[in-house]
């Protein structure tokens, strides 16, 4: 665990703490320090903050719409201004849109929320994180076109052309027939590429990734029809603990928390739903691909700096 070097309790930032895996992770990390809750709705953030405070623990709320890079940068400044002894960042928030929409910049909303916003938030926070601090990204095995449970579900892996093309909502042909499948898989592949590139670029911090397993009870499939959502919440979630590659938000939160509190000093590790090291796709393991994704993202985001 990274220590803050002061008498204060260490602080951990969690994005998307208002639902599913992020909610359980926030409750878990609150046992180890102050949790900075980063989400898009003040009311929902306050509810989580009150739950944590009701258990005698500490939390602060920062409003941030991760689909908007400007909002991500403002949230980073607000977090830094809190003056807390930051020890870790969990980039958990994510969406899987079944009907593509555009954000304020005209960019694909899934790509912006799942990748560009977290990228901007992380880069803005990094200079303020002490040596040894842990940055954990909640990724997804659907980025790998060879991964059996992902292909069975209809995914065809990340379909990256360039950061600009992804922002336009364009994906390499031959992809998934699942609505939103290519946007989601490509965003998650970029997250993993970023983790692996940042781990090499900035060895004073630790960058690790988690594939949390399939948790059917969360709100990730909120665009799905009522029947599918009912099945996910009340039928499939009961089976989840017994099925390979599946999980629950509570179990995923344990894996993520262990990755954040990791004392081994490991960086650039991708953990599976049981917390064991796993491999990403052949493409994402290629350092040249990782560096290209990061370099193209920096050029794209620089267009918003002026
Ligand atoms: N569930 C799975 O099977 C599964 C599998 C692999 C990976 N994952 C990944 O796990 C992570 C958590 O997903 P989940 O399943 O727990 O889904 P979830 O229940 O829908 O939670 C998603 C969280 O992200 C927040 N969020 C969404 N859009 C946002 C935005 N524009 N700005 C800020 N916050 C935003 C949501 O806030 P609101 O409450 O305001 O909507 C919510 O707190 C995601 O990155 C997902 O891709 C999930």
Q: Which of 38, 78, 95, 119 to mutate to test the pocket of ligand 1 (most atoms within 8 A of CB)?
A: 95
Write out pLDDT tens, residues 26-42: 999 999 999 999 999 99
Residue 90 pairs in a beta bridge with 14, 136
- Least confident among 59-68, 97-106, 113-122, 276-285: 97-106
Please enumerate in sequence order all residues whose Cβ is within 8 A of that of 169, keeping only pairs 6 or more positions apart, or say none. Answer: 100, 102, 107, 108, 111, 183
Q: Which of 43-52, 172-181, 232-241, 245-254 shows the lowest per-residue confidence on average (mean pLDDT)? A: 232-241
Q: How far is the CA of 158 from the centre of ligand 1 (A)?
A: 19
Q: State how far the Cα of 185 lies from the Cα of 283, in Å rounded to an integer.
A: 13
Over residues 212-230, mean pLDDT: 83
> CA 142, CA 69: separation in Å to the nearest integer?
24
| Ligand 1 atom nearest to 220, measured from its CA | 20
Which residues lie closer than 8 Å to 306 by C-beta, 6 or more apart? none
Give residue 290's pLDDT: 98
Split at pLDDT 50, 70, 90, the class of 8 is low
The conformational region for residue 215 under phi > 0 = left, psi -120 to 50 = alpha, else beta, is beta
pLDDT at position 219: 86
* Between 235 and 84, residue with greater pLDDT: 84
Which of 13, 17, 20, 121 for a ligand 1 pocket mutation test, highest count of atoms within 8 Å of Cβ?
20
Could you identify the residue written with the tokens 């940055």? 135
- Model pLDDT, residue 278: 97
Please write the tens of the pLDDT for every residue from 163-209: 999 999 999 999 999 989 999 999 999 999 999 999 999 999 999 99
Return the bridge partners of 12, or none. 35, 88
Residues 6+ apart with CB under 8 A from 209: 136, 137, 138, 139, 191, 192, 195, 196, 269, 270, 271, 280
Give me ligand 1 centre to Cα 79, in Å: 20
Give the containing element (helix H, strand E) for 270. strand 270-271
The answer to whether 36 touches 13, Cβ cutoff 8 Å, is yes
Nearest to 11 by CA among 139, 129, 137: 129
Distance 6 CA to ligand 1 centre (A): 33
Q: How many CB atoms lie within 10 A of CB 56?
A: 7
- The string of pLDDT tens digits covering residues 56-97 is 999 999 999 999 999 999 999 999 999 999 999 999 999 999
What letter does residue 177 receive in the DSSP assignment?
S
Tokens standing for residue 106: 């005209």
């Amino acid at each position: 665990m990274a220590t803050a070097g002061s008498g204060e309790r260490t602080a951990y930032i969690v994005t998307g703490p208002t639902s599913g895996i992020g909610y359980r992770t926030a409750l878990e990390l609150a046992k180890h320090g102050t949790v900075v809750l980063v989400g898009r709705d003040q009311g929902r953030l306050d509810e989580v903050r009150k739950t944590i405070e009701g258990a005698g623990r500490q939390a602060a709320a920062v409003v941030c719409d991760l689909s908007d890079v400007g909002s991500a940068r403002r949230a980073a400044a607000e977090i830094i201004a809190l003056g807390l002894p930051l020890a870790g960042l969990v980039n958990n928030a994510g969406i899987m849109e079944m009907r593509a929409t555009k954000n304020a910049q005209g960019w694909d909303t899934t790509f912006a929320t799942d990748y560009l916003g977290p990228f901007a938030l992380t880069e803005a926070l990094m200079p303020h994180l002490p040596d040894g601090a842990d940055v954990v990204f909640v990724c997804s095995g659907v980025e790998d076109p060879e991964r059996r449970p992902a292909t069975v579900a209809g995914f065809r892996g990340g379909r990256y052309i360039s950061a600009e093309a992804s922002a336009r909502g364009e994906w390499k042909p031959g992809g998934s027939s699942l609505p939103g499948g290519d946007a989601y898989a490509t965003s998650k592949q970029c997250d993993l590429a970023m983790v692996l590139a940042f781990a090499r670029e900035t060895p004073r911090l630790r960058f690790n990734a988690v594939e949390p397993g399939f948790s059917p009870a969360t709100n990730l499939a909120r665009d799905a029809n009522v029947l599918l959502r009912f099945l996910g919440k009340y039928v499939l979630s009961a089976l989840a603990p017994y099925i390979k590659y599946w999980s629950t938000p509570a179990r995923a939160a344990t894996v993520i928390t262990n990755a954040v509190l990791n004392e081994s000093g490991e960086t650039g590790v991708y953990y599976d739903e049981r917390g064991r090291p796993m491999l990403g796709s052949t493409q994402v393991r290629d350092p040249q691909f990782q560096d290209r994704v990061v370099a193209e993202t920096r050029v794209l985001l620089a267009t918003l700096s002026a």
